[in-house]
């Protein structure tokens, strides 16, 4: 089993100034209808975890400039962020429309995303997707060259950039290169569905360190390498690959959150007004209890099963009607792909069906919102909710499962968590379920609403402790210190 890194942190391993490279940028500049330029923060675990790290560490973040006003506000593609209190450089990589279609909507999200989430029926690999994926990885490698000093380590993020490490290595044979893979790594029997499996592995193996959220993903990666390259020496206990005189360490390094940041925001949140804003027309007095789900509208998130489970529960327990409202905070995502557009429609129709069936004049069972919530409002919403439902079919980690318990500063709150999310490997105290088992999800919601005080408080404090142990600052230190291991 590939090693967990908790024992091997070298405090001084993190460079003073970081160079990180990801597809998604933390801040985009968008032009409004009246021509005014607005700044928008990205939704998703990677950006919310890395932004506080970059703010405290400083350096350069290289990412796709996806906003329509991004280049207008940048100087040679570089803008200081966060705009309200600049702390680091964001270097934007401009992508053509064809590149976005082929690389982002194509290869990254119609080949690698379903592959790694072990949903191969959704894979679609047009030849242009691979060509664009390679070309964009080359573009990122060139951008790295313009911002990173020769000896500076470069840290790649996620599945969009599997080839860029090799391309940078060709330019910089002695550089320290790292990669963190934010989504699951599939079993070898699934990975073999990929038409470009060897090229992807070769790209990644140019790194000195590759990190995954769990030891299980790291081990599956090592098995895939072993199957692909007979000339490679793979040591699964040590978590190393030696191939063509290159040594790569493969480590389990679970990503966490900025614990203090989330806790502070929850403490200062105006919970009453968050409730009123989110519940809107629905009954918003304090007597209605809240359950909450927060996610991008991604087909891996298990939202329809969750809604079906809620319907199941309200059906078999009429006394719970009017008792609690489920708030679904959803973010639109990847809508250039038909499967995502269909998923959004399916979710919205399911919400409507349940509301039509169980709703009354003064109670709306499900409140669905796509409103953009700032981090303060989100922390208030977490705090207002007695139960959080995180029920993905598969998820690399899932940081909502980390944020929610930390935001429960009043000492109450229960988490229903899919056993197939990476978070289930690391968090103790959740009510875990199989995300396809509708009856079990309904049972877990029911149980969460009825936990006795001692059990609830014990579970919450175990959750909080396990989240604290994975603080995002530690994650960075662990990743860099893996490069210094003997
Ligand atoms: O969770 C995987 C991930 O790629 C994150 O790394 C990212 O923040 C999130 O999905 C959002 O996806 P996208 O960048 O496609 O909007």
Ligand 1 touching residue 333 (CB < 6 A):
yes
Q: How far away, in angstroms, is 44 Cα from ligand 1 center?
A: 5
Other beta carbons within 10 angstroms of residue 84's beta carbon come to 7
Does 107 lie in the same domain as 237? yes
Pocket test for ligand 1, best of 20, 21, 22, 24 (most atoms within 8 A of CB): 24
Does 269 lie in the same domain as 244? no
Ligand 1 touching residue 28 (CB < 6 A):
no
- Report if residue 7 sits inside a domain: no
Which atom of ligand 1 is nearest to 160's Cα?
4
- Report if residue 244 sits inside a domain: yes
| Angle 358-433-394 from CA coordinates, rounded to 5° | 100
Do 210 and 248 meet the contact criterion of CB atoms below 8 Å apart?
Answer: yes
Do 393 and 435 meet the contact criterion of CB atoms below 8 Å apart?
Answer: yes
Q: What is the pLDDT of residue 2?
A: 56
- Report if residue 4 sits inside a domain: no
Q: How far apart are CA 61 and CA 46, in angstroms?
A: 12
Does 114 lie in the same domain as 64? yes
Q: How far apart are CA 167 and CA 92, in angstroms?
A: 19
Does 179 lie in the same domain as 113? yes
Does 404 lie in the same domain as 379? yes
Ligand 1 touching residue 334 (CB < 6 A):
yes
**CATH number for the domain including 347?**
3.40.50.2000
Does 464 lie in the same domain as 476? no
Instruction: From 150, 263, 165, select the one nearest 208 (Cα to Cα).
Output: 165
Does 359 lie in the same domain as 252? no
Q: What is the pLDDT of residue 7?
A: 42
Q: How far away, in angstroms, is 176 Cα from ligand 1 center?
A: 25
Q: What is the pLDDT of residue 467?
A: 97
Q: How far apart are CA 56 and CA 302, in angstroms?
A: 35
Ligand 1 touching residue 421 (CB < 6 A):
no
- Report if residue 3 sits inside a domain: no
- Report if residue 9 sits inside a domain: no
Ligand 1 touching residue 383 (CB < 6 A):
no
Question: Considering the entire predicted model, what is its pTM?
Answer: 0.95
Does 213 lie in the same domain as 266? no
- Report if residue 8 sits inside a domain: no
Does 224 lie in the same domain as 282? no
Q: How far apart are CA 219 and CA 225, in angstroms?
A: 10
Taking the chain (486 residues) in runs of 10, the rounded mean pLDDT of each run is 51 83 97 93 83 92 97 97 95 98 98 98 97 98 95 96 98 96 98 98 98 98 98 97 97 95 96 89 72 97 98 98 97 97 98 98 96 93 97 97 98 98 98 98 98 98 97 89 72
Buried b (16+ CB within 10 A) or exposed e, 292-309: bbbbebbbbbbbbbbbbb
Q: How far apart are CA 166 and CA 201, in angstroms?
A: 10
- Report if residue 1 sits inside a domain: no
Using CB atoms within 10 Å of the CB of residue 484, give its burial: 0 to 12 exposed, 13 to 18 middle, 19+ buried: middle
Does 242 lie in the same domain as 275? no
Q: How far apart are CA 108 and CA 164, in angstroms?
A: 13
Does 227 lie in the same domain as 285? no
Do 115 and 194 meet the contact criterion of CB atoms below 8 Å apart?
Answer: yes
Number of domains in the chain: 2
Q: What is the pLDDT of residue 14?
A: 84
Contacts of 315 (CB under 8 A, 6+ apart): none
What domain range is 164 assigned to?
A: 18-256+472-482
Sheet arrangement for strand 246-252: 78-81, 88-93, 59-64, 18-21, 154-157, 177-180, 209-212, 246-252, 240-243, 233-235
Ligand 1 touching residue 392 (CB < 6 A):
no
| Maximal C-alpha separation, the chain | 71
- Report if residue 146 sits inside a domain: yes
Element holding 248 (H helix, E strand) = strand 246-252
Q: How far away, in angstroms, is 465 Cα from ligand 1 center?
A: 26
Does 273 lie in the same domain as 250? no
Do 393 and 436 meet the contact criterion of CB atoms below 8 Å apart?
Answer: yes
Q: Which pair of tokens denotes residue 453?
A: 């005080």
């Amino acid at each position: 089993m590939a090693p967990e890194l908790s024992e091997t942190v070298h405090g001084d391993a993190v460079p003073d100034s970081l160079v990180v490279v990801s597809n998604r940028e933390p801040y985009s500049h968008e032009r409004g209808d009246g021509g005014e330029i607005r700044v928008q923060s990205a939704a998703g675990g990677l950006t919310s975890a890395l932004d506080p790290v970059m703010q405290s560490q400083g350096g350069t973040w290289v990412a796709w400039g996806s906003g329509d006003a991004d280049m207008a506000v940048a100087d040679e593609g570089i803008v200081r962020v966060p705009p309200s209190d600049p702390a680091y450089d964001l270097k934007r990589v401009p992508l053509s429309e064809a590149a976005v279609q082929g690389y982002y909507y194509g290869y990254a999200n119609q080949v690698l995303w379903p592959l790694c989430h072990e949903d191969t029926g959704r894979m679609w690999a047009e030849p242009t997707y691979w060509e664009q994926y390679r070309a964009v990885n080359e573009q990122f490698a060139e951008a790295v060259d313009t911002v990173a000093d020769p000896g500076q380590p470069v840290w790649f993020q996620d599945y969009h950039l599997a080839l860029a490490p090799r391309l940078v290595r060709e330019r910089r044979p002695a550089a320290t290169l790292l990669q963190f893979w934010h989504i699951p790594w599939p079993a070898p029997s699934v990975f073999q569905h990929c038409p470009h499996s060897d090229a992807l592995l070769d790209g990644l193996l140019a790194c000195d360190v590759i990190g995954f959220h769990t030891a299980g993903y790291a081990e599956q990666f090592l098995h895939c390498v072993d199957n692909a390259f007979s000339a490679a020496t793979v040591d699964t206990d040590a978590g190393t690959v030696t191939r063509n005189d290159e040594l790569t360490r493969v480590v389990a390094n679970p990503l966490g959150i900025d614990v203090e940041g989330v806790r502070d925001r929850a403490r200062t949140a105006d919970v009453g007004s968050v409730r009123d804003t989110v519940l809107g027309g629905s009954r918003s007095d304090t007597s209605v209890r809240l359950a909450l789900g927060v996610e991008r509208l991604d087909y891996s998130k298990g939202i329809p099963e969750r809604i079906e489970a809620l319907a199941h529960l309200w059906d078999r327990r009429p006394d719970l009607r009017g008792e609690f409202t489920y708030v679904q905070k959803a973010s639109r995502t990847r809508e250039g792909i038909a499967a995502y557009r269909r998923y959004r429609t399916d979710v919205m129709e399911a919400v409507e069906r349940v509301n039509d069936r169980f709703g009354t004049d003064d109670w709306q069972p499900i409140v669905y919102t796509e409103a953009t919530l700032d981090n303060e409002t989100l922390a208030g919403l977490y705090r207002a909710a007695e139960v959080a439902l995180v029920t993905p079919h598969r998820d690399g980690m899932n940081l909502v499962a980390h944020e929610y318990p930390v935001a429960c500063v009043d000492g109450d709150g229960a988490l229903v968590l899919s056993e197939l999310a990476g978070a289930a490997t690391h968090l103790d105290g959740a009510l875990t379920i199989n995300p396809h088992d509708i009856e079990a999800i309904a049972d877990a919601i029911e149980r969460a609403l009825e936990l006795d005080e001692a059990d609830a408080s014990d579970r919450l404090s175990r959750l909080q402790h396990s989240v604290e142990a994975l603080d995002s600052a530690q994650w960075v230190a662990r990743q860099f210190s893996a490069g210094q291991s003997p």
